[in-house]
């Protein structure tokens, strides 16, 4: 079995799990890093969790930021082949959901293999037109106001000017990744897909999650959790239970 820690900086905290029959790639929301999923490594004992560490955060803080999803996925596609020696699944929240989805499609096209399961969290179906205003290039005060509205940036960050100056370029770049993304139709995936949503998520309501079912011919499940866009944190335990049950028997 491969030594995950020595392969690439793209997947941080990954540890070889001899008990695992499945590898779970986890992708962060805008501004987030691999540490979001670090607790999952100990909790999901029969799954080998591989949290993605994107450039500009954590131990990669000095690396150039990506502003286009296609470029980001292309780079990940170069690094991921050694990890495909086990069945694998994808989990992504918000920005991470579309990263996982597009990477899954590219792996299928380039390597002829699909995920055993794909988990989409808090992200509108990509084929649905996004008419929301562009925000990544807003002037500073307006951009910060938008961050307050989204409620995803911790209060401590807003109260720390130095930390805020570090985070704003990262958040602008991640927002640009999301807001310049253009979905291109290809044949649907064949793997099972589970989609998660928050009942109080005003930006991604249930009706924008339902159309994900058209992007796979496999079994489709939509699960709604109480909470806003960041129900990932408030319902982490329940989400991990769903992940474990969904991949049992693979």
Instruction: Output the pLDDT for position 178.
Output: 97
What does CATH list as the number for 4-129+184-246? 3.40.50.1820
Residue 161's pLDDT is: 85
Q: Count how many residues are written for the chain.
A: 250
94 is catalytic: yes
Query: Quick one: which H or E segment has residue 233?
Result: helix 231-234
Q: What is the pTM of this model?
A: 0.94
Surface-to-core class of residue 7, CB atoms within 10 Å of its CB (0-12 exposed, 13-18 middle, 19+ buried): middle
Residue 73 neighbours by CB distance under 10 Å: 20
CB 15 within 8 A of CB 44: no
Confidence bin at 4 (pLDDT 50/70/90): low
pLDDT in tens, 141-183: 999 999 988 887 878 888 888 888 889 999 999 999 999 999 9
Q: How far is CA 43 from the centre of its chain?
A: 19
The answer to whether residue 2 scores a pLDDT higher than 60 is: no
Going by pLDDT thresholds of 50, 70 and 90, the confidence category of residue 5 is low
**Where exactly are the structural domains of the chain?**
4-129+184-246
Check 94, 121, 244, 246 and give the catalytic one. Answer: 94
């Amino acid at each position: 079995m491969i030594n995950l820690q020595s392969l690439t900086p793209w997947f941080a905290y990954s540890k070889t799990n001899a008990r695992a029959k499945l590898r779970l790639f986890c992708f962060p929301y805008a501004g987030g890093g691999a540490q979001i999923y670090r607790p999952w490594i100990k909790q999901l004992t029969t799954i080998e969790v591989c949290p993605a560490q994107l450039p500009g955060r954590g131990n990669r803080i000095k690396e150039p930021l990506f502003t286009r999803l296609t470029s980001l996925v292309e780079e990940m596609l170069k690094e991921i082949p050694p990890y495909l020696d086990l069945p694998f699944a994808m989990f992504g929240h918000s920005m991470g959901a579309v990263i996982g989805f597009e990477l899954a499609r590219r792996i299928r096209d380039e390597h002829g293999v699909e995920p055993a399961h794909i988990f989409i969290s808090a992200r509108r179906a990509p084929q649905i037109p996004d008419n929301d205003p562009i925000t990544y290039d807003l002037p500073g005060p307006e951009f910060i106001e938008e961050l307050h509205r989204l409620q995803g940036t911790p209060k401590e960050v807003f109260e720390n000017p130095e930390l805020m100056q570090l985070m704003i370029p990262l958040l602008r770049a991640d927002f640009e990744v999301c807001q310049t993304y253009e979905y291109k139709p290809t044949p649907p995936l064949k793997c099972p897909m589970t989609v998660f949503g928050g009942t109080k998520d005003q930006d991604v309501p249930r009706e924008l999650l339902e159309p994900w079912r058209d992007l796979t011919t496999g079994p489709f499940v939509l699960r709604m959790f109480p909470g806003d866009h960041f129900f990932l944190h408030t319902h982490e335990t329940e989400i991990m239970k769903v992940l474990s049950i969904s991949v049992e028997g693979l």
